A and B are shown apart, each in its own frame.
Chain A
């Protein structure tokens, strides 16, 4: 595996993954992946279907704990603290590491409740304070003007793109340190997809972002760093990782080279 010698990547990673292996029973989704996610940057994960990209993301907020038979080994540190430690508070971890899914998944409740319920659960007791946060995050995702008059209406009446932005707002409301996006645009039409992508551009300076995408031009537009995953010997591996320009312009690994050229994958 080739590592970039960049100082930013090595000195102060938010997430430091070492020797990560993920198994679902006999299926090895990821083998021996080591990767440091730089703080405040956008890291894109690219690679063909089934090479373990989603599995990698779900390890980072330990959503893998919800999947029976899923076995995770190796070490993951968030700000230096091992997230698989016995004492790790899962709920706190998931508030610090937010996740946006491929398919928008708002709760079947009103727009307000979608943000209000997790926010109240996270300990914001005062209603007025919650309402302020709801307005702020809806403004952040550019949804406020569209929905301010119908906060009490069903979130499932929103368009796909609006739903995805609501899900992002909902995650932002918890003030996470890291946001994980798992192909956030792939279930959306091109226009909504563009809106969501612009939104991620807007967030890039506030938040550490890890995004899985199948869309290489999107990765070029968004990413500071790119991690290339590939299936080798029946398991997902990280085959190249480095600054986005370098990966796209001068890939070292020939598989990466053909993949970013669009000749394989």
Chain B
């Protein structure tokens, strides 16, 4: 122990340790960024050349080797709409209930939470089997966009609810007490104060949900099917972007080019939606919080 020690017992060469630590942290961040850029770069390099207006606006030909992805885009859109239209309201209400209405530490809330935690870890293929049994067969929806969307709603609900609930709990109790002492009803407190205050978290939960819906293949194979024709209603079977990519790269020899182009569209769509959600949430949040 010949080292020079400072008063606080920190080695005198702590600046070297500090620098090492900084370096490691930076390396980690750089690594993550590099992997991300690599993947995106790879997709763009292989897929960008396939992107054109014609590709986005025409139907696939020869099992997708040629032609475009319009019906696939439309099907994806409907699946996403159905999933979010169900998951967002149900998720928000459940989260509000868990965070604000359920008796703290109450039996029912505990059971609900335990179920959600288990469900969040269930592989998507199991949700696919469940959706197939319940929505396609039992409820008679068959292979349809509706069945697919509902299945995905079930799949994202647990994640969405726990994310939202955490956000609601993070809203200081001071606001709840203040609102109650001002004679505001519980419902009004939630809609006028707590929901807006938790909005940034809602946006993040929504983005997570959209990401999972757009990425899903396994659960959709069993529920919305993989017909690549233009759907005429929610009761038609339809193929999502992710299934299209899967099919082109695994089952269709010579489909790789269009698989990559579709991947570019998928990544672009995700970026676009995330951007829109963040912008919207930021906009509304600013209005709620008042100008700075």
Contact = CB atoms under 8 A, between A and B. Distances in A.
Contacts of B176: 66
Nearest to B197: A108
B1 interface: no
Contact of B183 (A94, A101, A156): A94
Interface stretch (A76-84, A113-121, A211-219): A113-121
A10 to B, nearest CB: 29
Main secondary structure of the interface of B (DSSP, over half): helix
B281 to A, nearest CB: 15
Given A110-B290, A117-B193, A153-B291, A91 B183 contact: yes
A155 B176 CA distance: 17
A107 B193 contact: yes
A68 B103 CA distance: 8
Interface string B152-188: 0000000000000000000010111111111111001
A108 B175 contact: yes
Interface string A217-235: 0000000000000000000
B183 A110 contact: no
B181 A63 contact: yes
A66 B193 CA distance: 17
Contact of A61 (B178, B181, B288): B181
A99 interface: yes
Interface residues of B, number: 26
Interface stretch (A13-21, A167-175, A237-245): A167-175
A107 B183 contact: no
B197 A154 contact: no
Nearest to A117: B192
A interface, how many residues as a size bin? 35 or more
B184 A121 contact: yes
Given A109-B196, A153-B291, A157-B292, A118 B182 contact: yes
A91 B188 CA distance: 12
Interface in A8-50: none
B210 to A, nearest CB: 26
Contacts of A112: 290
A92 B183 contact: yes
A50 B183 CA distance: 27
B289 A110 contact: yes
Interface in B244-292: 288-292
A165 interface: no
Interface in B181-217: 181-185, 188, 192-193, 196-197
Most buried by A among B177, B182, B184, B291: B182
B289 A171 contact: no
A130 interface: no
Contacts of B174: 101, 103, 105
Nearest to A62: B180
A98 B179 CA distance: 11
Contacts of A66: 176-177, 180
Contacts of B19: none
Contacts of A103: 174
A122 interface: yes
A124 to B, nearest CB: 12
B182 A109 contact: no
A111 interface: yes
A22 B186 CA distance: 24
A152 B286 CA distance: 11
A90 to B, nearest CB: 8
Interface in B86-139: 103-105
Given A105-B174, A107-B175, A121-B185, A63 B290 contact: no
A53 interface: no
The listed residue with most A CB atoms (<10 A of its CB), out of B174, B176, B197, is B174
Nearest to A96: B183
Contacts of B177: 63, 66, 101, 105
Contacts of A111: 290
A55 to B, nearest CB: 14
A170 B104 CA distance: 29
7 contacts: A68-B103, A105-B178, A107-B175, A109-B193, A109-B290, A113-B288, A118-B179
Given A113-B288, A117-B192, A153-B292, 4 more contacts: A63-B181, A107-B193, A109-B289, A150-B291
Interface of A: 61, 63, 66, 68, 91-95, 98-99, 101, 103, 105-113, 117-118, 121-122, 150, 152-157, 167, 170-171, 174
